[in-house]
């Protein structure tokens, strides 16, 4: 750690010397996501928005920058840091069957997704490419297609593998007719994430490419299972999401919960990684005064970053679902004010 030495002398010639350690840290990046992956340029105008979350399925034919999303290239080249969430989950487009395509000079046929996730009773279970399919190399074409597009993007991004593994696995998973428990699904996911990381890292990536694995961060045991040290040695960031969904929940308590689990349960490699909050938000039904809650976030982040554990490096507000800003104008004004406040500046 850098150290500064200061020596002072009074009028009589007496001297005193003191030393102090110091650390220089970059500001936290305030960020955003707009419902439906829509163009956020207008919402971000005039504010200190420097980070953006986006979601893509590996099944999509247009992963980078995404279908009809030239604005993402403009924002990225202007310096906005992209957190690109790439999912094995199939988003339900008509191409849910096998896909055949060519990437560069290689022809691929990728089988239909064989796994179901998010198996909450009474709901339709989404399909996803199975962890077994990944480990058998059956999804290599999807990885190659995404990489080929990424190389033409013009800037590096953080690739977040999965959106929320805990949400995906909470009620177990099923692949090729075999059911797996939550814990078994977590273990299989770690194997698949390692495979994907090995595949990408064996190839030429754009400069400043980084990686993380996605979780909501609501279950302590799952968070620990999905962040073993061997995997963390290959990742650049931790990640979790933060929502206020009940009266009395403070910014400090909500951002603190998963960070405290990390500090208590994870190893030294994991704790050396900064954290991306890919989504954060305030549910207006329970907390109608969203601007007042948002105003407390800078102080909460500053306090948490002064404590032991991973440093929060980016916080991307999720203006959709639980985090929908209502009214939008007041919420955006609150975000602009928050992101103009230490530790965001």
**6: pLDDT strictly greater than 70:** no
Confidence of residue 240 (pLDDT cuts 50, 70, 90): very high
Query: Which tokens in the block code for residue 340?
Result: 């103009």
**18: pLDDT strictly greater than 80:** no
Query: Which tokens in the block code for residue 204?
Result: 């030429």
Helix, strand, or coil (residue 130) = coil
**1: pLDDT strictly greater than 60:** no
Average pLDDT of the residues in 264-279: 98
Integer CA distances (angstroms), 250 to 29, 296, 301, in order: 21, 8, 12
Average pLDDT of the residues in 152-179: 99
How far is Cα 139 from Cα 19, in angstroms, rounded to an integer? 56
Query: Which tokens in the block code for residue 133?
Result: 């399919």
- In the predicted model, what is the mean pLDDT of the chain? 95
pLDDT digits (tens, 9 = 90+) for 79-100: 999 999 999 999 987 668 999 9
Average pLDDT of the residues in 9-31: 71
Helix, strand, or coil (residue 254) = helix
Superfamily of domain 29-338: Glycosidases (3.20.20.80)
Residue 193: its pLDDT value, please? 99
Stretch among 16-20, 66-70, 312-316, 335-339 having the lowest mean pLDDT: 16-20
Q: What is the largest CA-CA distance in the chain?
A: 87
pLDDT digits (tens, 9 = 90+) for 275-333: 999 999 999 999 999 999 999 999 999 999 999 999 999 999 999 999 999 999 999 99
Residue 282: its pLDDT value, please? 98
**7: pLDDT strictly greater than 70:** no
Residue 25: its pLDDT value, please? 74
pLDDT digits (tens, 9 = 90+) for 99-114: 999 999 999 999 999 9
Angle, alpha carbons 192-242-228 (nearest 5°): 30
**2: pLDDT strictly greater than 70:** no
Average pLDDT of the residues in 115-140: 98
Alpha-carbon torsion angle 250, 313, 169, 109, nearest 10: 150
């Amino acid at each position: 750690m850098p150290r500064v030495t200061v020596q002072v002398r009074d009028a009589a010639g007496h001297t005193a010397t003191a030393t102090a350690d110091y650390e220089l840290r970059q500001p936290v990046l305030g960020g955003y996501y707009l419902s439906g992956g829509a163009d956020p340029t207008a919402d971000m105008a005039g504010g200190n928005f420097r980070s953006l979350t986006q979601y893509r399925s590996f099944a999509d034919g247009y992963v980078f920058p995404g279908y009809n999303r030239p604005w993402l290239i403009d924002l990225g080249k202007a310096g906005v840091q992209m957190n690109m969430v790439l999912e094995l989950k199939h988003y339900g487009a008509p191409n849910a069957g096998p896909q055949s395509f060519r990437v560069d000079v290689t022809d691929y046929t990728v089988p239909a997704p064989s796994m179901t996730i998010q198996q909450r009773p009474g709901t339709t279970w989404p399909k996803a490419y199975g962890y077994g399919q990944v480990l058998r190399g059956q999804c290599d074409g999807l990885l190659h297609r995404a990489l080929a597009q990424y190389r033409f993007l013009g800037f590096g991004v953080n690739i977040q593998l999965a959106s929320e593994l805990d949400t995906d696995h909470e009620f177990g998973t099923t692949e090729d007719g075999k059911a797996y428990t939550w814990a078994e699904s977590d273990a299989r996911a770690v194997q698949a994430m390692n495979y994907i990381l090995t595949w990408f890292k064996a190839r030429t990536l754009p400069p400043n490419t980084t990686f993380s694995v996605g979780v909501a961060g609501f279950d302590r045991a799952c968070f620990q299972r999905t962040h073993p040290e061997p995997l963390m040695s290959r990742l650049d960031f931790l990640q979790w999401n933060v929502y206020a969904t009940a009266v009395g929940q403070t910014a400090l308590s909500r951002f603190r919960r998963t960070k405290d689990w990390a500090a208590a349960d994870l190893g030294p490699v994991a704790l050396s990684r900064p954290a991306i909050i890919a989504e954060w938000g305030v549910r207006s039904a329970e907390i109608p005064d969203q601007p007042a809650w948002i105003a407390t976030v800078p102080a909460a982040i500053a306090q948490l970053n002064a404590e032991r554990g991973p440093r929060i490096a980016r916080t991307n507000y999720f203006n959709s679902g639980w985090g929908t800003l209502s009214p939008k104008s007041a919420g955006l004004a609150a975000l602009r004010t928050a992101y103009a406040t230490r530790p965001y500046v």
